[in-house]
């Protein structure tokens, strides 16, 4: 008999709509486990966030980092509430510490046009948008976070940092991702997005990109300055596949690409390092819609799909890879056959209705 492989998943529901969208994703993961068998996810709750901070003065449970480190993946809802701040005025952000501690350098942010989801561009070809922004997530301009200097109320400075080891890993990740996407019909193209015409750090970034591309002759490599990319992502986003870029550029461009295919409620995200990975929607805790069953759960559900894909690849579990692909088909067909249209997209379906429709469809396939 086939052995069922167990995976420990740390689950941080967090604040605002976080618990609702995480529960939606867990319901979908359960449906996929039931449909496929062969793998079992053991959920381990970890409490963290702004509400927890308000109640206890702690941003995350004590001992949590050890537990997170011991799990196979982390699934997170959203962290932060506008009225809860640290004494210095900054936001509660234990998830950023997770990113740093675990070296989660590869920020995977897909943007894919689903049928009948809002299309922001008039051109028919926008139906073919299917790209990933790969945002380096541990250095770049964000390296400077908490380290900036203001001298004499007259001048402020922040430092951008690009390192060879991280850039090499990032580019290899980008090319491998493009290769996997190509095997499933993707364009097989990695575009390096930088500002190499102005900054030495980005010329260095591009030089390393050129070195690494040599090992991936089956994948095309392109270049774009970030300003030109902002233009091209509106003019012809359907021509791109994997965009690999620095932290701040990726932060900005991935919001733009999320908007192209609907909005933040469909923007999934994987943050992947050498030994750990965290999956969460790209949106925040949306306190303005909390408790109304209006949150679009798709971003978190699709992030859970990225998690299955990550675990399947890492642990060589074909059934998990299949489950991830089935989930994408279910979401595509669900949109195409008007099973659901989230409130966020002008439809009538709340968090629970969208989740129910997806779970029901998984059982039918
Ligand atoms: P953060 O800085 O943590 O990313 P934010 O304050 O910039 O958060 P969000 O919490 O993402 O922003 O909310 C921005 C807007 O998008 C809000 O109006 C919110 O209601 C809406 N929004 C965010 N996520 C969703 C979702 N899943 N479904 C529907 N609307 C959402």
Instruction: Kindly give the confidence (pLDDT) of every residue in the chain, 365 residues in length, as a single tens digit, with 9 standing for 90 and above.
Output: 567 899 999 999 999 999 999 999 999 999 999 999 999 999 999 999 999 999 999 999 999 999 999 999 999 999 999 999 999 888 999 999 999 999 999 999 999 999 999 999 999 999 999 999 999 999 999 999 888 999 999 999 999 999 999 999 999 999 999 999 999 999 999 999 999 999 999 999 999 999 999 999 999 999 999 999 999 999 999 999 999 999 999 999 999 999 999 999 999 999 999 999 999 999 999 999 999 999 999 999 999 999 999 999 999 999 999 999 999 999 999 999 999 999 999 999 999 999 999 999 999 99
Distance CA 54, CA 83 (A): 10
Number of H helices, E strands in the chain: 11, 12
Q: Check pocket membership of 292 for ligand 1, CB cut-off 6 A.
A: no
Q: What is the CATH number that goes with domain 119-261?
A: 3.40.718.10
Residue 1: what pLDDT? 54
- In the numeric block, which tokens belong to residue 357? 């429709």
Q: How far is the CA of 286 from the centre of ligand 1 (A)?
A: 4
Dihedral sign, Cα of residue 155, residue 202, residue 180, residue 263: positive
Going through 101-157 in order, the beta strands assigned E by DSSP cover 106-112, 130-136, 149-151, 155-157
Q: How far is the CA of 280 from the centre of ligand 1 (A)?
A: 13
What is the residue-wise DSSP string for 7-53?
EEEEEEEESTTHHHHHHHHHHHHHHHHHHH-SEEEEEEE--BSHHHH
**Cα 282 to ligand 1 centre (Å):** 9
CB 202 within 8 A of CB 162: yes
pLDDT of residue 89: 87
Q: Is 109 within 8 Å of 135 (Cβ atoms)?
A: yes
From the list 202, 242, 246, the residue with the least C-alpha distance to 219 is 242
Find the helix packing angle between 318-336 and 298-314, rounded to 10°: 160
Domain ranges of the chain: 1-104+275-365, 119-261
Rounded to the nearest angstrom, the distance between the alpha carbon of 46 and the centre of ligand 1 is 22
Cβ atoms of residues 253 and 287 within 8 Å: no
- Return phi, psi of residue 288, to 5°: -70, -20
Instruction: Select from 3.40.718.10, 3.30.429.10, 3.60.20.10, 3.40.50.360 the CATH code of 1-104+275-365.
Output: 3.40.718.10
Would the CB of 283 count as within 6 Å of ligand 1? yes
Same CATH topology for 1-104+275-365 and 119-261: the answer is: yes
Closest residue by CA, ligand 1 atom 3: 284
**In this structure, are strands 270-272 and 130-136 parallel, antiparallel, or unpaired?**
unpaired
Q: Is 49 in the pocket of ligand 1 (CB under 6 A)?
A: no
264 Cα: distance to centroid of ligand 1 (angstroms): 7
Please indicate whether residue 285, judged by its CB atom, sits closer than 6 Å to ligand 1. Answer: yes
Residue 358 Rama label (left phi>0; alpha psi -120 to 50; beta): alpha
* pLDDT on residue 141: 96
User: Which residues is 138 bridged to in the sheet?
Assistant: none
Q: Which residue has the tokens 């102005």?
A: 198
List of residues 6+ apart from 219 with CB closer than 8 A: 175, 178, 179, 182, 188, 189, 190, 213
DSSP-derived 3-state class of residue 276: coil
Report residue 103 as tokens.
Answer: 């070296």
At 356, list the tokens.
């129910």
Q: Is the CB of 24 under 6 A from ligand 1?
A: no
Q: Pocket of ligand 1, candidates 14, 264, 291: which has the most ligand atoms within 8 Å of its Cβ, to mutate?
A: 264
């Amino acid at each position: 008999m086939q052995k069922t492989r167990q995976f420990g998943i740390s689950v941080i529901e967090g604040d605002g709509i976080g618990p609702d969208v995480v529960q939606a994703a867990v319901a979908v993961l359960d449906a996929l486990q039931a449909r496929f068998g062969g793998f079992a996810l053991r959920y381990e709750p970890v409490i963290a966030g702004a509400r927890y901070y308000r109640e206890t003065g702690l941003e995350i449970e004590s001992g949590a980092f050890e537990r997170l480190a011991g799990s196979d993946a982390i699934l997170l809802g959203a962290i932060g509430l506008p009225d809860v701040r640290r004494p210095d005025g900054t936001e509660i952000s234990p998830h950023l510490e997770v990113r740093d501690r675990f070296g989660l350098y590869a920020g995977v942010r897909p943007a894919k046009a689903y049928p009948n989801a809002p299309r922001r561009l008039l051109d028919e070809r926008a139906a073919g948008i299917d790209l990933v922004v790969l945002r380096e997530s541990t250095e770049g301009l964000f390296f400077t976070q908490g380290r900036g200097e203001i001298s004499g109320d007259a001048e402020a400075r922040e430092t951008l940092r690009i390192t060879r080891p991280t850039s090499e890993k990032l580019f290899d990740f980008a090319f491998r991702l493009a290769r996997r996407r190509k095997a499933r019909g993707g364009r097989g193209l990695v575009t390096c997005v930088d500002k190499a015409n102005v900054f030495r750090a980005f010329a260095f970034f591009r030089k390393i990109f050129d070195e690494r591309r040599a090992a991936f002759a089956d994948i095309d490599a392109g270049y774009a300055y970030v300003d030109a990319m902002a233009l091209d992502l509106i003019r012809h986003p359907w021509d791109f596949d994997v965009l690999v870029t620095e932290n701040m550029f990726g932060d900005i461009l991935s919001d733009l690409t999320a908007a192209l295919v609907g909005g933040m409620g469909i923007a999934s995200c994987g943050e992947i390092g050498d030994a750990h990975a965290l999956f969460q929607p790209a949106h925040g805790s949306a306190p303005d819609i909390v408790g109304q069953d209006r949150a679009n759960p798709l971003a978190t559900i699709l992030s859970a799909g990225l998690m299955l894909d990550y675990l399947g690849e890492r642990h060589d579990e074909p059934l998990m890879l299949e489950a991830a692909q089935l989930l994408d088909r279910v979401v595509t067909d669900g949109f195409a056959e008007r099973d659901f249209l989230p409130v966020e997209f002008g439809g009538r379906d709340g968090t629970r209705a969208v989740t129910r429709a997806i779970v029901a469809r998984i059982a039918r396939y």
